[in-house]
Amino acid sequence: MAVSKFYLGYKQLSKAVFEWQAADRTALLAAFMVMDVFSHWLWCLFVWYRRDAYSNYIDMNLLYPIWIGVSVVGVFLLWMSSRFSPVRKAKSNIYTWQAILITIYSAYITFIVAVLGHSSLVAGVSLVGGTMLGMMLISRRYVWRAFIGQIIAILVVTLIPYVGITIPNLRQMIATTLPPNIHSYVTYSEMAMMKDATAATVLPNGRLNWDSVNYLRQSSNLLWRSTHIYMSLPKAIFIIYMFRTLLVILDDSRKETLQHANQDELTQLKNRRYGLMQMKQALVTIEESQDISVILLDLDWFKEVNDNYGHDVGDRVLITVAQTLSQSLTDDTIVSRYGGEEFLIVLPNTKHDSAMVIAEQLRLSIAEQTIMVDDNITFNVTASLGLYTLTYKECMSFKKANRAAGKTETGCQLDHSQLNKSYIGKTFDNQTELTQLPQDICQRLICRADKALYKAKSLGRNQVVSANEMSESGDDKIDSLYSH
């Protein structure tokens, strides 16, 4: 067992639910049952100790065999929770022992509910809370069957007195409290009402005053209500605590799952899928007069790094570059590993000139990084960057053109010149049109940046090239011949 089952904090319960073996979880559930049964055993001890005061309200002749039965069940559950438990020795029969454990406990709780006078409070807490806790630790199939069986048993116990069958009951009344010819079975509410009424008749003038408090404190009404609270409230608090902790575990597991789904494991940056999703969101929420810039960064001669120094050193280079990007950019910047040695950087609300300055600073920061292979070998890496800035008006124009065409362009065929046709200079007040971007809008913008990146590669690497400047100088058509 990973940790002691008698101490379950946040981390321990997390291990119990997700990491422990079935035998350990079964033993843990048995330990919880021991705690519940032990509280019943203590109640029997208390009543026996105060038997002179409570003999008018409790059938002492029935208490002793019940006390013995509680002790036997407690010993069995203690054995099941110990290191000598059979679930640890016969793992092939683990589910059989789980079924035996849950069956015995369910029958025991039903019996306790019956002999205590059919308390709905004890029954509800035990039925719902115990079932949920059991489903967390052992086979849900067995717990579900026990849940259905216990419901049926409680219904039988509740209805059987109406057919003339008397169920042993610890609750009894003195002759001055209830009429001797009353039916052997009444509901808890009816019993409480009659006891309150008969208690009032023995008080002076039928009125309750402070002098009568000591008398009522010894009454059957107070005794049994206190008993039901004692047997239910601690268990309810414990179960609520357990499930509160479980919900914290599930929330953290959800966060961890999302983190692994959205994060690149090596560089700890966002992965390609999540980076594109954030980029699309930035395009959808673009506001008037805001531009969005896209940078595609590729490390130079990275294949030679892997070939010459090994993939471990190559991984170290990627991690170093990722850290440089994270430290150099603001939290509003969308940085993701696009694939291999390529990184995608999206700069929301960033003009072209500012994006060029940022790209150049990134290029210089990466070139300054020294990678140490061993004490005698070090080297530097460089990066080529392609940049494309989409202005707000161009974005609006492209969406209008897309609506007019009635279809979506595909591939890397985003012609920058068509953004300047027909719609440039018009004002678009309907912000809902932002949601009418083509599905592949992100890929189209990346293709523009990719053309600029390969232009940088062809010019000797370790430099920044702007797709916007290429288009203005007429190099766009020539550059369209480049393939990735």
> What rounded mean pLDDT belongs to the chain?
77
Structure tokens at 260: 């692994």
Cα 418 to chain center, whole Å? Answer: 48
Q: Are residues 459 and 436 in the same domain?
A: yes
Give the pLDDT score at 174: 45
Helix H or strand E encompassing 214: helix 213-217
- 407, 372 Cβ separation under 8 angstroms: no
pTM for the model stands at 0.53
pLDDT digits (tens, 9 = 90+) for 8-22: 555 565 555 666 778
Model confidence pLDDT, tens digit, residues 357-390: 999 999 999 999 888 887 688 899 999 999 999 8
246, two tokens: 């479980």
- What is the model's pLDDT at position 186? 47
367 in a domain, yes or no? yes
pLDDT confidence of 175, banded at 50, 70, 90?
Answer: very low
Give the pLDDT band (50/70/90) at residue 209.
very low
If asked whether residues 233 and 277 sit together in one domain, one would say no
Residues 172 and 146 in one domain: yes
Nearest Cα to Cα of residue 466 among 391, 356, 360: 356
Tell me: the pLDDT tens digits for 43-79?
Answer: 999 989 988 878 877 888 889 999 999 999 999 999 9
Within a domain: 32: yes
In the structure, what pLDDT confidence band is assigned to residue 196 with cuts at 50, 70 and 90? low
Do 246 and 325 lie in one domain? The reply is no
pLDDT of 396 strictly over 50: yes
SS3 per residue for 7-64: CCCHHHHHHHHHCCCHHHHHHHHHHHHHHHHHHHHHHHHHHHHCHHHHCCCECHHHHH
Q: Give the model confidence (pLDDT) of 302-320 as tens digits.
A: 999 999 889 999 999 999 9
Percent of the chain surpassing pLDDT 70: 73
Structure confidence by residue, pLDDT tens digits, 424-455 = 344 434 444 444 666 678 888 999 999 999 99
Query: What domain count does the chain have?
Result: 2
Please check whether residues 345 and 199 belong to one and the same domain: no
Phi-psi region of 454 (alpha: psi -120 to 50; beta: other; left: phi over 0): alpha
Residues 215 and 279 occupy one common structural domain: no
In CATH, what number is assigned to the domain containing residue 291? Answer: 3.30.70.270
Q: Which residues span the domain enclosing 362? A: 272-479
